[in-house]
Structure 1
Amino acid sequence: MHGPAMSGWLLMALCAVTGAYCLLRAHGGSGEERRTARAEALMGFSMAAMAVPAAVVAPPAWGWALYAVLFGVAALRALWFSRRSGHHLHHLVGSSAMVYMSVVMARPGGAGHSGHASHAMASAGGVPLLTGLLLAYYAAYVLRSGARLIPVTAATAGGGAMVGGPSAGGWGARPELALACRLTMGIAMFAMLLTV
């Protein structure tokens, strides 16, 4: 997760902006939409914190345990709400992946204990099969989200509304922005998993 400094800062900024937009989305919509937006904001901000280059700001030793506990609770919450919405199953996978990455980084010799980026990436050592399954899941998720994003934009353009113009529900209620945020977080999760 703490690769070269420039890519770490870019990933951090992208996740932080995505988390901020999701937090803004949490102020409107139905109860289910607010719950989903809050879960996505938590994921975005936490991914931003995990992406800060370790050479610049070394995480405290207890930080990885805190992430593991936080995302363990988020995984249980997603499991509970998955009874109502299938999208919470994605949150369950995402929270579980964050627990997995936190545990890998907390281990002695993990990337979270090293300041040198190339050494950290080489010694992280997650479970190859689990890492591979998560990478495959997020690759499929990113491709699916990207494909879903195209028809929403095309439908908006074909429906007579201006592309990029305000919608009836305001800019925070635009479905293509929510999809773009999910796509962004999927790409970021894929990138973070590559370093495990």
Structure 2
Amino acid sequence: MNDERATSGHTRRRAKPLDRNRLEELALAYVARFATSAGKLRTYLRRKLHERGFVDGEEPDIETLISSFVDKGYVDDEAYGRAKANDLVARGYGGRRVEQTLRSAGIAEDLREVLQPDEAHMRQAVVVLARKRRFGPFGRLGEAGAEDARKLREKQLAAVVRAGHDFDMARRVIEASTVEELEEWVTEASDELG
């Protein structure tokens, strides 16, 4: 009995190399299943080519395939980026995290700049994060001693900055004395914008 078979129960067959039709089918299945950007589709197709190879012995024209999907409307970087940015802000993430996520999705720099949340949305996002994580006035700092409260504020401040918010905004939320103060701060930014 083959030792490799005895330990694994079966041997893995290598998948057949891709041809142009199968590559297009994979791309179509991917965009049908996932909201995606051109950059993410490119990464997916390159990974599949690396895993399986290409039957013709030449590199297929991935860029033309992606361009045709963009032209057909199957892939829309702006729509994908807007949805992703809005989702991150709604979950409490800041502008820096939005920018990083869009960059990793292959969204162009000029489009990333357009999709950055405005001041009012960033303030709302940092308040959402503070409420969700029970930071600042949403938490129970009063029950801790002075030294423990200082350490807890530092940890909270670091967590808000890691979530993509700038330091001044994070400090404003952590050091706020009441929830009403934060709500007024958010309303103030909304009124200035519109």
Asked if TM exceeds 0.5, the reply is: no
The TM-score normalised by the length of structure 2 is: 0.27
Ranked by relative contact order (alpha carbons within 8 Å, sequence separation 6 or more), the top structure is: 1
The TM-score normalised by the length of structure 1 is: 0.27
Bigger radius of gyration: 2
